[in-house]
Amino acid sequence: MYRSHTCGELRESDINTKVTLSGWVQKTRDKGFVVWVDLRDRYGITQLVFDEDRTSSKLLEQARSLGREYVVQVTGEVIERTSKNPNIPTGGIEVLVEEVILLNKSKTPPFTIENETDGGEDLRMKYRYLDIRRNPVKNNLIFRSKVSMEVRKYLSDHSFVEVETPYLIKSTPEGARDFVVPSRMNEGQFYALPQSPQTFKQLLMVGGMDKYFQIVKCFRDEDLRADRQPEFTQIDCEMAFVEQEDILDTFEGLTKHLLKEIKGVEISAFPRITYDDAMRIYGNDKPDIRFGMEFGELNAVTQHKDFGVFNSAELVVGIAVPGGASYTRKELDALVNWVKRPQVGAKGMVYVKYNEDGSFKSTVDKFYDQEDLAKWAEITEAKPGDLICVLSGDANKTRTQLSALRMELAERLGLRNPNEFAPLWVIDFPLLELDEETGNYHAMHHPFTSPKPGQLELLETDPGAVRANAYDLVLNGNEIGGGSIRIHDREVQSTMFKHLGFTPEEAQAQFGFLMDAFQYGAPPHGGIAFGLDRLVSILGGQETIRDFIAFPKNNSGRDVMIDAPAAIDQEQLNELKLKLDIEA
Ligand code: ASP
C-alpha cells in the first residue's frame, strides 16, 4: 500500500494517527537540528518533520538527501504543529516521519514547480508534465473535467445519447482546410480528419437516434490566429423533430445549468438579438453586452455641413466613452494612432469632449457648432464627462473598426469583468457570405443549414439577403456555440449546393451519402456545437484556452514536448507510396 491518506487530507482530528503518504518533495528546509520537507500530491501539501530528538541520525541524513521532485513514500505519526500555517488546509498538523522509502529520484526541474513559476511559456510547454504538477495548471484540468461532467449530466438527464463518430472520414465543410491521413491499404487515397462530426450527427438523426451528443475532438488546418488550436474539443449535439425554439430552449438550459453548478450564478432568460442588429449596435456578431457603449449612427446629424470626410462616407458612427472627456491630448493622440494601426485600419478618428459644464470641444469645431454636437451626444447617449469617438467610411469596415475600439476601451476601463456572465443568442444569420476576393458566395455556417421559411426563392434573386435558421450562443464577447436547423430534403440540399457553386456531379461525389440518406425518411432536425475549450476558459475566468488543455500546441501548431509534426522515414513513405517534393 503506497498511502493511507493523500497529502491534502490530514487535519488536527487525525493527530496521533499512524499514516503513510506518497508524493513529490516540493521543498526541504534544513535548520540543522530539524529538517522539514513539504510533500506534495494532487490533493495538497503535507509538512513532514524530522528532528534530532525524535529521529534517528540515519533518517535525518536520508531527509537531507532528498532533492526537489524526488518521489517518496513516508510513514509516521500525525502531530500538532507548533507554528501553524492557516493558509493551507493541512496547516495545523505535520507528520513525524519514522520511515522514508525513495520511490524515484528526479533531475533538478528546469523551472520551479510553484504557483508562480520562473519558467517561460516555451520551457513549460516542453516539460508540460512538470507544468501540470503546478496548482494553476492542475486546477484548470480538474475544472475542465468538472465542466465536462456537468455537460454529460445535463444532457443525459435530457435523454441525449453519447455516440462516437469516426475520425478517419472524408471532408466536412466547416470552412477550414482538412488535415489528411494517407491510407496505406488504399494507395493514393486519403482520409480527412473531421472538422466536425456534422454529417454523421445528421445521419444519426436519419437513423432515429433522436437526441445525440458527443464531447469530441475536431481538426481544422487553419492559419493559426492567436489562441486557436488545430485540434480542439466540441460539445456536439443534434436533435430530431425540433424547431429553432426547441434548440435554443434546450441549450439555454444547458448553459444555465453550467453557470449555476460551476459558478453559482443564476441567469434569467437570455436576450436575443438578430445578426443585423448585433452588427448595427455593436459592429460585431459576438457582442460583449456586459457594458453599454452602443453605437450611435450619426449620418443624419453630420452630413449637412461642409465636412467632406463625413459627407462622402457610407456610415458615420460613434460611441460614448465613459469618463473620456478627461483624457489628455497625449492620450487622445495615442487613441487616434491606435485606431490607425493596420490591425484596426481606420483612416482617422473624430472625437468630441463632452465637458462636465455641458459644453463640447471637438476636433471638427470648424464644421459643427455646439447644437450639432449636442445631437451627437444624444444619439450616442454620451453624458457630461464622456468622450465621443466617431469613425466613418464604408459601413461594414467602419463597424468592425469601431467594434475593435469599443472592446479595447472597455478592456482599458475595466468593464470586462471576468466574474460577470452575460450570455445572449444571436439569431437570423445570413445564409451566405460573399467572399470579397473571389466574388463567390459561400455558406456562412455550413451548407447543411436551412434558409428561413419562404426564403428559398430569394436565393435566385438576392442570395446575400437570405436569412438562415442559424444561431450562435455568445458569452462575454465570445462565440461559445453555434448551430442551425438543417435541410432535410434532398431537393433543397441540391439547390443549396448549386448556389454554392457545386456541379451536381461534385455535390454527389462529396455529399451523395447524405443526400441519399435524405431519401429514406430523414426527419426534420437541427443542432448546435459548443467549443469546450473556450467555454471552460471563460467559466474559469481566464483568457487563453491553452491553459485549459493538458497538452496544447503552440502558435505554429507544434507540440514542442513530443516534437510534432515531424518527418517520417523513407520506409514509411514508400509503404504509403508517397513521394515528397520539397527541398531538403
Ligand atoms: N458543425 C457545426 C460547427 O462545427 C455546429 C453545428 O452546426 O451544429 O460549427
CA dist 230 and 236 (Å) reads 17
554 in Cβ contact with 564 (< 8 Å): no
Residue 225 has pLDDT above 80, yes or no: no
Average pLDDT on 461-473 reads: 94
Residue 273, class by beta-carbon neighbours within 10 Å (0-12 exposed, 13-18 middle, 19+ buried)? buried
Residue keyed to cell 524530522: 50
Point out the ligand 1 atom lying closest to the alpha carbon of residue 201. Answer: 8
Average pLDDT on 293-320 reads: 97
Peptide bond preceding 565: is omega within 30 degrees of 0, i.e. cis?
A: yes
**pTM of this structure:** 0.94
CA dist 91 and 86 (Å) reads 6
> How many of the other CB atoms lie within 10 Å of CB of 329?
7
State residue 341's pLDDT score.
Answer: 97
Question: What residues are paired with 177 via a beta bridge?
Answer: 221
CA dist 74 and 304 (Å) reads 84
Q: For residue 70, give the nearest of 108, 34, 99 by alpha carbon.
A: 108
Average pLDDT on 429-433 reads: 95
Q: How far is CA 222 from CA 175, 293, 436, 448, in A?
A: 9, 33, 19, 21
Q: Whose CA is nearest to atom 8 of ligand 1?
A: 528
C-alpha cell at 44: 495538497
Q: Whose CA is nearest to atom 3 of ligand 1?
A: 529
Which domains, from first to last, does the chain contain? 12-104 (2.40.50.140), 138-162+203-273+422-538 (3.30.930.10), 291-412 (3.30.1360.30)
Tell me the percentage of the chain whose pLDDT exceeds 70: 100
Residue 224 has pLDDT above 80, yes or no: no
Residue 173 has pLDDT above 90, yes or no: no
Between 581 and 162, whose confidence is greater? 162
206-215 pLDDT per residue, tens? 999 999 999 9
272 in a known ligand binding site? no
State residue 584's pLDDT score.
Answer: 58
459 in a known ligand binding site? no
Average pLDDT on 167-187 reads: 91
Strands 93-104 and 44-51: parallel
Residue 416 has pLDDT above 90, yes or no: yes
Strands 423-427 and 272-274: parallel
Average pLDDT on 533-548 reads: 93
Q: For residue 257, give the nearest of 156, 134, 400, 332 by alpha carbon.
A: 156
Q: For residue 106, give the nearest of 66, 138, 79 by alpha carbon.
A: 66
Average pLDDT on 93-104 reads: 98
Residues 6+ apart with CB under 8 A from 372: 301, 302, 305
Q: Which residues line ligand 1 (CB under 6 A)?
A: 174, 196, 198, 482-484, 527-529
249 in a known ligand binding site? no
Question: What residues are paired with 297 via a beta bridge?
Answer: 317
